[in-house]
Amino acid sequence: MSKKAVLVVISGPAGTGKGTVVKELVRRGAAEISISATTRVPRGQEQNGVEYHFLTKEKFERMIGEDGFLEYAEYCGNYYGSPKAPVDKWLSEGKNVILEIEVEGYQKVKAKRPDCIGIFIMPPSMEELENRLRGRNTETEEQIQKRLSRAAEEIPLAELYNYVVVNDSVQDCADKIEYIFKSETDN
Ligand code: ADP
Ligand code: 5GP
């Protein structure tokens, strides 16, 4: 049964291009993006309230206690979580909402909101994934290694998602995801 708006969870290994594709979808007006909270430090030009809400561990844990997250998880030594209030507000307004989160977070959202749509973005190859991760130039060698080993764990879990889309070109990948939105809603 089609709906007015969908909650879409996008996952995929670090460096696969999730952020780039999601930015393109938002530019096209296809969906709102949930801004996550994290305890990791800002990277490159990242700004508080734009890419993430950058919180201290204490503030993050207070928000957990106040039941402020739809889900949260630990990833590579930091907390990441999706604030609940904006997601519910956008869905009630009939807007598609994207959560760009890792696999553990997806499983928690799927358990709470079984009608959410999971999309796993796959890199064209592991070699290209490493090239993109390195080319981004935002992580230390240690962080790159952690993310690559995490990628190897995450890729087999793509089967838990409703759709798997390869990010070969940003435009083609965004086109395919927009098509999924259209087929899942009556907009
Ligand atoms: P993620 O959010 O999955 O960690 P990013 O969106 O930060 O990944 O992309 C990682 C790097 O790969 C960035 O430098 C980005 O410009 C580049 N990139 C993203 N999509 C593509 C693509 N389709 N082809 C080539 N490079 C890409
Ligand atoms: P990064 O540090 O590269 O921005 O993000 C690391 C990982 O955390 C990515 O896989 C990203 O999708 C995930 N992530 C970002 N926000 C959230 C969130 O709110 N919840 C969960 N569970 N994962 C998140």
70-81: per-residue pLDDT in tens?
Answer: 999 998 899 999
Residue 67, SS3 per DSSP:
coil
CATH of domain 7-185: 3.40.50.300
Supply the pLDDT for residue 186: 75
Say yes or no: CB of residue 146 within 6 Å of ligand 1: no
- Give the pLDDT score at 1: 55
Q: How far is CA 60 from the centre of its chain?
A: 19
Q: What is the pLDDT of residue 33?
A: 96
Residue 52: strand pairing partners: 48
Which stretches of the chain drop beneath a pLDDT of 70?
1-2, 187
- Give the predicted TM-score (pTM) of the model: 0.93
Pocket probe for ligand 1: among 52, 129, 132, 144, the residue whose CB has the most ligand atoms within 8 Å is 132
Lookup: tokens for 151: 């990628």
pLDDT at 26: 95
Q: Is 37 helix (H, G, I), strand (E, B) or coil?
A: strand
Instruction: Supply 106's token pair.
Output: 């997806």
State the distance from the centre of ligand 1 to the C-alpha of 139, rounded, in angstroms. Answer: 14
Where helices occur in the chain by DSSP H, the ranges are 18-27, 57-65, 84-92, 103-112, 126-136, 141-154, 170-184
pLDDT at 139 (0 to 100): 87
What separation in Å is there between the alpha carbon of 13 and the centre of ligand 2?
10
* Residue 39 CB less than 6 A away from ligand 2: no
Ligand 2 proximity of 15 Cβ (cutoff 6 Å): no
Q: C-alpha angle 5/90/72, rounded to 5°?
A: 100
Nearest CA to ligand 2 atom 5: 14
Long-range CB contacts (within 8 A, 24+) of 67-70:
69/37, 70/99, 70/109, 70/112, 70/113
101 lines ligand 2 (CB under 6 A): yes
Q: Residue 136's Cα: distance from chain center in Å?
A: 18
- Predicted local confidence at residue 92, as pLDDT: 94
Q: Read off the pLDDT of residues 11-51 as tens digits, 9 standing for 90 and up.
A: 999 999 999 999 999 999 999 999 999 999 998 889 999 99
